[in-house]
Amino acid sequence: MEKACININELINVFSIKQGSIYQSDKLNCFFVDFGGKFARYNCLSLRKLKKVVEDIDIDALLLNTHKADFEVVTFNGCEHIYLLNACEIVALKELLQGTFTMFKLNHLISDCLHRLVV
């Protein structure tokens, strides 16, 4: 999905690094990953799957294996998006996703304190 289709002002920036950002849309109940020249939409489950796929990549093996290109195809079954990333980009995407999920945890704690546990 192109950025032009989305009203960027309606999106909440969850986490950003130099190489990309992840946004949340409260209106559409979904996330947008702005990374590697793509602006891709994900739901909760697919974002979690993406994180798992990226975390499972063995970067050491990728760099040390001389019979293989230093690129990795990042996708999973049912995913509409495919990333072709080098080792540095994989590290960056991992950092972006881990930061995002940490923000989700923080947001959960704040939501509990502000809305759910108010006496």
Binding mask 46-75 for another protein (x = CB under 8 A): --x---------------------------
Does position 88 interact with another protein (CB under 8 A)? The reply is no
CA distance 16 to 103: 11
CB 47 within 8 A of CB 33: yes
Indicate which single residue of 88, 102, 111, 113 sits in contact with another protein (rule: CB under 8 A): 111
Indicate which single residue of 29, 37, 61, 77 sits in contact with another protein (rule: CB under 8 A): 29
Does position 12 interact with another protein (CB under 8 A)? The reply is yes
3 state SS of 102: helix
3-state SS of 15-76 is EEECCEEEEEECCCCEEEEEECCEEEEECHHHHHHHHHHHHHCCHHHHHHCCCCCCEEEECC
| Category of 107 on φ-ψ map: left (φ > 0), alpha (ψ -120 to 50) or beta | alpha
Cβ proximity to another protein: between 11 and 90 the closer is: 11
Cβ proximity to another protein: between 69 and 117 the closer is: 117
CA distance 83 to 86: 10
Cβ proximity to another protein: between 44 and 88 the closer is: 44
Total residues binding another protein (CB under 8 A): 14
Does position 8 interact with another protein (CB under 8 A)? The reply is no
> What residue ranges bind another protein (CB under 8 A)?
12, 14, 24, 26, 29, 31, 44-45, 48, 101, 104, 107-108, 111
